[in-house]
Chains A and B, each alone.
Chain A
Amino acid sequence: MKVVMLGLPATGKTSFGVALFGGLSNHAIDEMELLKVHDPVHVLNEGLKHLARREPVLRSDHEGVETISLTVALADGSEHSLFIPDRSGESLRGTIKTRAWHVELLAELREADAMMIFLDPDGLGVGGSAEEVAELLEGKDDEGDGEESEDNSGEGEEETAHKWTAGMMPTDVRMVDALQEIRDATHGEPCPIAVVVSAWDSVTGFTPSEWLAARVPLLRQFLEADKNGYSYRAFGVSAQGVKFKQDEVVSDPDEPDPWDRAWAVDGAGERVSLAEPLIWLLGSSG
């Protein structure tokens, strides 16, 4: 199964891959057994070293791709090949910004059996609500035919108008834009999508499904709409397990191994295996 991890920069794609690989290599995931590694794993092992030191896993290579290529067995005994390119989020951001496909990303999407969309709750770009826009439009109407008013903001504050750019789009608008472009470019059947909300340890008061509805409503509506044909599931993943402090030094003698520290929940907030997004995709991709 070929899985594309889709997400803007620093949305947790690499951290997820590293934590998953660590869990599989160290037999910490009961639901999935690692049978064979096909590609070099130096970058993944270096990532595990960072997680062990409570340092975030950072990508330094914005252009390259590290591929996670594994053969795994599930609890039912079935064996599967997983091919998961971990491409920098710059490729997606550049595609959205320039309105021109990153050639290699497009090739991967055309061959994909499934997708994982990564969202970072801490770095989310949130747009104004529909009500706010309505109020704004209404207010402008009151000022008379959309003409700018003379200093009606009060207290001498000035708002500077900026020309709109694609970079100003809220995260869910960007992701819907990307999905529409993918649908047009691939001409294929919509593949199943695991929506992964990363850094889930930093989210409180929501299940992943509730979080999608509250924080990225447009993306959720797009995925829910029958005519788009997507099947999707939401997951919350904490690859680090906890939020690391700046320059943190590990001092707890009972510090868990990084693959034991990572955790995940399903859409309803129930604890699941870190491999569950992939297990669901394997069962849904036909």
Chain B
Amino acid sequence: MHPARAGSGRITPHTTRTEADPEGRDLLHLEVESPNTHLLFADLPGESFRAIRDNEISPDQVSYLAQADKVAILVDGALLSDLGERSFAINTTRQLIERLSDGSVSFANAHVCLVLTKLDELQAAGDSAVRYWDEREADILAAVQGICAGSACLRTAARGKTDEDGMEVLMDWLVEPPPEVPEPALPAQAEPPARMLRLRAPKGLSQ
């Protein structure tokens, strides 16, 4: 992250590509609102998601995906602004969503959303570039909603100048508590089976 900071001394910020950490340090821990709001970002290499998209691996082979409370599916606004690349951005996004829908990972207990990144670059490319995305967003969002009903599309620009960079909305989405995971209901029986009794907390530990 250092090259993206003012302290790096660079004239322009630069974000290096994520590579797999040989020591497995692939979680970024941020406390964003005190107290008790901790975010753990899985900073995984894009290669993992390319492999999912290309059907080379199954989504359940990617670390943390099954445990995630929040899943953001990113669409690269810079690619969308390039006439020769934009269909690739659409195609790869649709295919990634399709593979994530294969049922190997359940997103029932997660918030999933579509995030358009680099909105500033898309807008700088002109109205036709924005219109290209406008005409496809609803269809792609519908596919995301097939994974997680109620998903939205957030348009963001992490740097650059846009009237609304969308970062506040993104942050709100991130800190919104994930769906409550309902406790599995116990079968209505007068005397629970012995196996289930053994799983209950000892009296000394209950409050």
Contacts and interface: CB of A to CB of B under 8 A. Distances in A.
Interface size class of B (residues with CB under 8 A): 20 to 34
B54 interface: yes
A41 B95 CA distance: 10
A261 to B, nearest CB: 9
Given A250-B84, A253-B83, A26 B91 contact: yes
B26 interface: no
Contacts of B139: 27
Contact of B54 (A27, A36, A42, A255): A42
Dominant secondary structure at the A interface? loop
A134 interface: no
Contacts, number: 59
Interface string A11-41: 0000000000010011100000000111111
A25 B83 contact: no
Contact of B53 (A45, A52, A53): A45
B90 A26 contact: yes
Contact of A255 (B53, B83, B99, B102): B83
Given A25-B98, A250-B83, A45 B128 contact: no
Contacts of B88: 45, 48-49, 52
B182 to A, nearest CB: 31
A52 B84 contact: yes
Given A27-B139, A48-B87, A254 B128 contact: yes
A229 to B, nearest CB: 38
A22 B95 CA distance: 10
Given A27-B139, A257-B90, A45 B54 contact: yes
Interface of A: 22, 25-27, 36-42, 45, 48-49, 52-54, 249-255, 257-259
Interface pairs A-B: 9 shortest CB-CB: A253-B128, A42-B54, A257-B87, A250-B83, A53-B84, A250-B84, A52-B87, A40-B56, A49-B88
